[in-house]
Amino acid sequence: MTNPLLSPWTAPFNLPPFAAIRDEDFAPAFSVALAEARKNIAAIADLTEPPTFANTIAALELAETSLDRISRLFYNLAGADSTETREALMRELAPKMSAFSSEITNNKTLFRRINDLWSRRDTLGLTSEELRVLTLYRRMFVRSGAELQGAAAERLTEIKMRLAVLGTTFAQNLLADEREWFMALTEDDLSGLPTFVVTAARAAGVERGQNSPVVTLNRSLIVPFLQFSPNRSLRKISYEAWVRRGANGNAHDNRAIVAEILMLREERAKLLGYASFADFKLEPEMAKTPEAVRDLLMRVWKPAKLKALADAAVLEAMLVADGEAGPLEAWDWRYYSEKRRKAEHNLDEVALKPYLSLDAMLGAQFDCANRLFNLEFREIKGSFYHADVRGWEVTRAGKHIAVFFGDYFARTSKRSGAWCSAIRSQKKLGGDVRPIVLNVCNFSKGEPTLLSYDDARTLFHEFGHALHQMLSDVTFGLISGTSVARDFVELPSQLYEHWLEVPEVLEKHARHWQTGEAMPADILKRLLATLTYDQSFATVEFISSALVDLAFHEGAAPTDPMAKQSEVLEALEMPQAIRMRHATPHFTHVFSSDGYSSGYYSYMWSEVMDADAFAAFEEASGPFDPAVAALLEKHILSAGGSEEAEVLYTRFRGKMPDVEALLKGRGLLDAV
């Protein structure tokens, strides 16, 4: 039987033949694709002709075409719809793919060709994009150890292979903990819960094969349960299970894995000549140094903590007034904060959710993209990788731009969180390749699916990433779409969240799922007035996580990461009733890969820019100003990584922004 992964993909838009692919097809396809890539790369290295950009750099860009196609599909499926076979193959592939990567960067003949081009770069007549790609290739090789020799080079290869295995294991352990835990609820336990939470709990019970409703560790279920359940003991049980993921002392415990990861990262940085892993990791980012990161975080931490302590006092008084013994605990904050919001602003999630159906919010995100960038979205039907997945063709002026997939519902086969990825990225080298972009969320499924405002913000956030992928307009895949500095990649996503706050967007799209009536003006007014509500809590839980991440990586690796976490939080005088947003044993951003290691701060770094970038629209004719939208697309969304991030942002805005824009956006200026 022909392996569909190795045959041409002939479906409309060259989509993968999802229905024809079996899990058993992936392993042999990877073997063939790896062999082909090795052959192609060896041919480049062994050329007798002098190196040119075309026969070396452009050839490297095309050398792994089949491998890239197969691996992008596989890892997207493994994250969004895992199976035992896929998880086993991920564990098998982790060291193999790392070893393959090291083979390339350790190829001294290949590196000499790249270095030769680099030394002659000013005489080659390169375009600015070609020069950028050459620069990034050389940087990638050097940072991967191409200049190391002998035992040092061999040790670095061993470290990277081991880190790949550990990151995969970390993520799979977390998924196992999330899959296995649930708390059964009696009918009495449902008392006080809104209908949407009860419906979600019953649906989760059916999925788990239970005869009762359950609470799971899916954020879209456990957070509203913590917001609305009057049963303090159940809130405590479920909250502690949520924050204990990866630290249950079972076969899925991640604490020893974290310690080994940190030790190996430090050794990796030292081999490459850096004082610490944070110094190594931050060098190519906008922040550049750990000191710059700490300065930003601490400038925001101080006013945020002051406001959080004041808020905690109010919530604790409400707790005591309910006849409960203080102090206010972490499993109490959301419950009393929700009560306070209703008391002070006459607004709660129950009033909002009927107007925030998933379909309505999808319509809103598409409409904003149309008004800003003239994009059209036509839903397409087909057999995709899961029955929950929806697809759209994206066009502009009748021209095909991309295919967009949305996978929005929680299930036990999907890792937690929300993300955007590309099954295929945009590029022009070797033909005009249009992207296939995927947004993944974990909303509680319902008939219809009703979102919290935070859920709707997540939807817009991930779609901002998707626009960065879809509007990419570069020649080389290396710099396509979201292939930018880590502390710049969140700019488009966080910027797009602002359009959910635009009154005319909510007036048009926030309509009652049953009656079709627009959100009443008084509810809309109260919603917009509370957009900075509880931001002290959100800011403190975020910054504490970012500072722990930084502390793990800016000095000697801690032998006991949990003790180091406690030390950092104690030094910060962390408010008692707020925990880190991501405790170490389930901090997937930092430990499932190197992606956000030393870089969790990047959301806040980008937020400084997104607040300033949206101000550009407000300073012009409004949120849909066509001239500003055109500049945003030209200099940021279409540009990918074609220039350093500071250059791209300055071209868009004229200057880099100050942290005051962030403090204003979070409602923290009055606490400075």
Residue 469: which residues within 8 A CB-CB, separation 6 or more? 402, 420, 422, 425, 426, 435, 437, 480, 481, 482
Backbone φ and ψ for 440, nearest 5 degrees, come out as: -125, 130
- Nearest to residue 181, comparing CAs of 537, 593, 586? 586
Centre a 10 Å sphere on the Cβ of residue 297 and count the other Cβ atoms it contains: 20
Distance of CA 506 to the CA centre of its chain: 25
Token output for 185: 């609820």
Report the SS3 class of residue 600: coil
Q: Which residues pair with 437 in a beta bridge?
A: 404, 422
* CA–CA separation, 55 and 38 (whole Å): 16
SS3 48: coil
Question: Among 61, 266, 349, 462, which one carries the catalytic annotation?
Answer: 462
Helix/strand/coil percentages in the chain, nearest 5: 60, 5, 30
Residue 462 known to be catalytic? yes
Question: What are the Cα distances from residue 391, in Å, to 80, 307, 310, 359, 384?
Answer: 15, 43, 46, 13, 8
- CA–CA separation, 417 and 440 (whole Å): 8
Nearest CA-CA partner of 429 in 38, 43, 60, 9? 60
Measure the CA–CA gap between 27 and 7, rounded to whole angstroms: 15
Q: With residue 196 as reference, give the H or E element that holds it.
A: helix 195-207
Contact 265, 277 (CB under 8 A): yes
Pair of tokens at residue 506: 């909510």
Q: Which of 399, 405, 156 is nearest to 270 (CA)?
A: 156
3-state SS assignment for residue 516: coil
Closest CA to 56 of 123, 115, 100: 115
- Phi first, then psi, for residue 561 (nearest 5°) are -60, -35
* CA gap 258, 559 in Å, rounded: 10
Active site residues: 462
